[in-house]
Amino acid sequence: MFKALDNEPRQMGALDRALASLDWPVQAAQRELLAPGERVARVHDSAGFSYISAGTAALHVGKERTELSTGDLIIYPRAHRAEIRAKRESNVINAWFLPSGGSAQTLGTFPNTLVVREFSVREPNMAMLIEGMLSGQANASDFSRAGDAVVCSLISTTIVSAAIRLWAELGCAPERWLHQVSDPFIARALDAIHESPGDAWTLQTLARVATMSRSAFAERFTTLVGRTPASYLTEVRMETGKTLLIRDGLSIVETAHRLGYESEAGFRRAFRRHTGSAPAVWRGQQRSLLLPAL
């Protein structure tokens, strides 16, 4: 229930600011009925979520494996490849979004997946909204009524915001997550990296964006983000590179150039360190796991 408003406005906290920045226009929603042992595996070029409406399943995202039960919700903050294998007959609702505006920097601070256990029990009204997104249909990628896209986008933003709030309340968020979101100086640098990962960023240029001295910026960034600016930049470039290689179908040379690498060899080395595989090998593995799009 909502509390009565005090005479003095409540100061917005870090979690409020993070949720306020989220804007998730829905791209498509889909219901999948999986038989025991059946799997579905796809690469998606946008953020999204999967909701286990019924059944139990195993989720694979990269090298991570998670057991899922009825009522669990999984948020994918970025482009991703996910595989869900049903352990018994399962009903899975998937949704895909196109995060916009201030969402990019906030999403950049999340891990690869956010798993919210017993979401349907803890947030029953939100679970009903998920079920209602499809209105009994199997696929809602084509909006038939005027205003459907707007309504579904508002619903999806509400669902994701409630899920992230619960995820944080349950202690699942990384230790420094809210500090990353709330620090305005570091946020500027994070925004710049995510918006233009291929720019020739240096410690000096990022510190200038953050309006800080180089030494102060390096120390604060490492403390809040948990890694150096150079390490974070490389990770963002590699994750962007995966999208370029799979979604956009760019060549390795084109991808290296788009991400600011002076040579293809430099990109190949960085990619291998990040994924354990050469770019061509990784792309072949990902494509072999794809199922035809519905």
| Buried/exposed 136-149: b ≥16 CB within 10 Å, e otherwise | eeeebeeeeeeeee
pLDDT band at 137 (very low <50, low <70, confident <90, very high): low
128 and 162 Cβ atoms separated by less than 8 Å:
no
Instruction: Please report the pLDDT score of residue 54 as a whole number.
Output: 93
Q: CATH number of the domain that 280 lies in?
A: 1.10.10.60
Q: Tens of pLDDT along 176-234? A: 566 555 677 887 888 788 888 899 999 999 999 999 999 999 998 888 777 899 998 99
Whether residue 159 is contained in a domain is answered as yes
Instruction: Please report the pLDDT score of residue 293 as a whole number.
Output: 38
Q: Which of 169, 194, 212 is the last residue of a domain?
A: 169
The predicted model scores a pTM of 0.61
Instruction: Please report the pLDDT score of residue 156 as a whole number.
Output: 80
- Which has the closest alpha carbon to 68: 88, 40, 46? 88
Structure-model confidence comparison of residues 256 and 79, the more confident one: 256
CA–CA distance, 79 with 253 (Å, rounded to integer): 21
Domain containing 281 equals 183-289
Q: Tens of pLDDT along 260-288? A: 998 899 999 999 988 888 988 888 877 66
Residue at 176: amino acid letter: R
Question: Is there a single domain that holds both residue 109 and residue 36?
Answer: yes
Kindly list the distances between the CA atom of residue 138 and the CA atoms of 12, 91, 202, 254, in Å, as whole numbers in the listed order: 39, 11, 48, 38
Look at the chain and report how many structural domains it folds into.
Answer: 2
pLDDT band at 108 (very low <50, low <70, confident <90, very high): low
pLDDT band at 3 (very low <50, low <70, confident <90, very high): very low
Question: Is there a single domain that holds both residue 212 and residue 147?
Answer: no
User: Based on the number of CB atoms within 10 Å of its own CB, is 184 exposed (0-12), middle (13-18) or buried (19 or more)?
Assistant: exposed
Q: Which of 119, 142, 169 is the last residue of a domain?
A: 169
